Amino acid sequence: MINPLESALFLNNYSVNYNGFENNNIILSMLYSKDNIILHYLLLKHKNKEKYMICGFDFIRGSIIPVEIRSIGNVLRNLRDFLNSEYNTMKIAVEFIDEIVEHFEKKKIKKGIDTYKALSILTSIQRNIISGRCEAYSNGKLLRPHKSLLILNRNGLVFGEFEFATKQDIIKDLKNIHLSEDLVINYRIKGNSIESAGTIYEVKKGTNRINIFLSSFMHELSKKKLGFFSFHSPDPHSPFQAILRSSGILKEQINIEGFAKKYGPYLVLLPIENLVLSNPEFGFGDVTFLTKDQAFDMYKGFKENYNDNLLGKFDTFAQSIVESDNAYDAYLLGRSKVQDAIEMVILLSKNERVFNYYNLGLEPNEWNRSRLYQNPKCSSVYYVENIIGLENVLGDSKDTWEDNSLGLNSKLNKIFKELDWFEEKLYKKHTGQHSNLDKQLFNALKWLNRSWKAEDIEDKVIYSNISMEFLVDKVETDPFLPDDVIREFKKLLKQLLKEQSDIFTEEYSKKIKDKSLSKLKDPPLKVKVQALIHQLAIPITDEDFSKLWKVRDYRNDLVHGKDELEINPDNILIANILLGEFIIYRLKSMKDGD
């Protein structure tokens, strides 16, 4: 049996003895299921012409079969909808596809091979089906769709649609899955289990059905526009790392077969905003600040790759040398070095008057108030060059996305009308009728939105945690410690300090009491969050809570200055979605007077 969900399917050569389709490419694989029936179709493309063929495929026997005539309309409509959708990331185009669908829907389809325009269909009245069952899993929940459709190319899953009848038990199960999680797809066929996975991108409701749409990360990546990116390299690691990781994919998830990682020295050259040099160069630590002319003189590769549209607005650059296994990591290391140097320059420039207080010389130092408002920083543009290899990259690290305007459509308007209490909260705030708790929750919302909008991942962590603290402030919990336990602890502590007064002096005793007794009754933040979840009966899994709390751990590591901090952007995504849900739950639960 051939696995219809693996790219190996696309490596085989399948021929149809008709009009040049003896030698063709498989463009798409379409796997359908309905109840306990599974059907598989292929879209073939003529190698030399813009001609296409649809045929069935028996992946148990590994052979081409015809398409049952009664199914052709459904297959064509699904193919057309996919080709015209945003999920067609490969931009596959079958000319006149709308006209082709209309043609085959209106005319009687002949057996054998039927052709119209650029599309041929291998047909038969014979029913060729495979028995099997489709299941989907998310967050530990098992879902059985009434219908499913997976469309794949040689890179893997590009589109999936799962249809569920709107039965009450299904609705309950769908509400319990988390839409930010991946959906694991399992087909059970003749004792075999075939699995794949996709990311949920959309849920739609019909009158008697609910549809979930998914794709792979390539769909999201196709929405990203790199304002400018050029590279020269025999090693694909650098461009792949720059493009994929700036979209949130972790370094450990990127493996390029046949290309081992090689460490080497890289020159990192960054344009600096709001910094002007009066000399050609200025060295500080392991970083040198250069004028544009000096950078041209020192680095031939930079001059050759200089892009006036991208770099023409910058007059000052900073350079550093780093060791790395790819240009993107070299850029991150170099940027960190340059940013450290800039922060030291800012510290000294904004605090010149310190030297007037502690001046060892006879004359006062100069000081200028205007420097308090000057803030040089690294731009998002970078140039990286491998010092010993034939590799250089010029790019812009700032993420820009297509379709970045939020559309207020009829569906969103319908949601607002269903949640009339939500609009009422906003109205009360606008008219000054909001309570202290309202203010608190709107503050939580403000900081959550700052986290969504922040580009720096550490800023996201800090803002998410501020939102969490506003959210649970004044949440009522059981006493962290019973009063009798607190009283007994205080008594024993005072007794110990008194008996050991030769060790615990009055000064030390006061410090110990302040540190030990000040917050005995205050529950930790984690207890408050758990209490809120329990009080409002918020459906959250242990795994989701663990991801939420991981973002709190990131915050603790940040504020305590821990080095080598690794932040998983997926955890921040989950945490922000959960915090938004918590805010809405708490807004809804509020009563008049809260």
Compute CA distances 571 → 183, 245, 545, whole Å. 17, 15, 10
Q: Are 66 and 189 in contact (CB under 8 A)?
A: no
Averaged over 133-153, what is the pLDDT? Answer: 88
- Mapping DSSP to helix (H, G, I), strand (E, B) and coil, where does residue 146 land? coil
- What residues pair up with 317 in beta bridges, in sequence order? 271, 290
Dist. CA 551–CA 514, nearest whole Å: 29
Share of the chain above pLDDT 90, in %: 33
Mean pLDDT of the chain: 85
Place of tokens 């813009």: 50
Residue 564: CB atoms within 10 Å = 5
Q: Which range (80-94, 123-137, 327-341, 376-390) has the least confidence?
A: 123-137
Q: What is the pLDDT of residues 162-174, one digit of tens each?
A: 998 877 677 777 7
Place of tokens 């945003």: 86
> Could you tell me which of 132, 143, 152, 140 has the C-alpha nearest to residue 211?
143
DSSP 291: E
Q: What is the pLDDT of residues 415-450, one digit of tens each?
A: 777 777 788 888 888 888 777 777 888 999 999 999
pLDDT value of position 513: 75
509 or 354, greater pLDDT: 509
Averaged over 518-541, what is the pLDDT? Answer: 84
Dist. CA 72–CA 122, nearest whole Å: 10
Most confident listed range (13-22, 345-354, 408-417, 544-553): 544-553
- Residues in Cβ contact with 384 at an 8 Å cutoff, skipping those fewer than 6 apart: 238, 266, 267, 268, 269, 327, 328, 330, 331, 334, 392, 393
pLDDT value of position 174: 77
User: Residue 147's pLDDT band (boundaries 50, 70, 90)?
Assistant: very high
Dist. CA 232–CA 228, nearest whole Å: 14
Q: Quick one: CA dihedral 325, 329, 331, 333, positive or negative?
A: negative
Q: Which range (9-23, 193-207, 372-386, 561-575) has the least confidence?
A: 9-23
What are all long-range contacts of 243-248, with beta carbons under 8 Å and residues at least 24 apart? 245/328, 246/328, 246/397, 246/399, 247/217, 247/220, 247/221, 247/399, 248/569, 248/570, 248/573
Averaged over 516-524, what is the pLDDT? Answer: 70
Compute CA distances 455 → 248, 289, 379, 399, 574, whole Å. 11, 25, 13, 8, 17
Averaged over 237-264, what is the pLDDT? Answer: 80
User: Residue 519's pLDDT band (boundaries 50, 70, 90)?
Assistant: low
- Mapping DSSP to helix (H, G, I), strand (E, B) and coil, where does residue 165 land? strand
DSSP 69: G
pLDDT value of position 440: 87
pLDDT value of position 591: 61
Compute CA distances 210 → 87, 171, 317, 359, 413, whole Å. 19, 8, 54, 74, 19
Q: What is the pLDDT of residues 374-405, one digit of tens each?
A: 889 999 899 999 998 888 888 888 867 776 67
**E strand or H helix at 418:** helix 410-418
Dist. CA 534–CA 522, nearest whole Å: 18
pLDDT value of position 359: 57
User: Residue 137's pLDDT band (boundaries 50, 70, 90)?
Assistant: confident
The percent helix, strand, coil of the chain (3-state, each to 5) is 40, 25, 35
Averaged over 446-457, what is the pLDDT? Answer: 91
Q: What is the pLDDT of residues 305-348, one digit of tens each?
A: 888 888 888 999 999 999 999 999 999 999 999 999 999 888 87
Torsion angle defined by CA atoms of residues 396, 398, 403 and 404, in that order, rounded to the nearest 10 degrees: -160
Radius of gyration of the chain from Cα atoms? Answer: 31
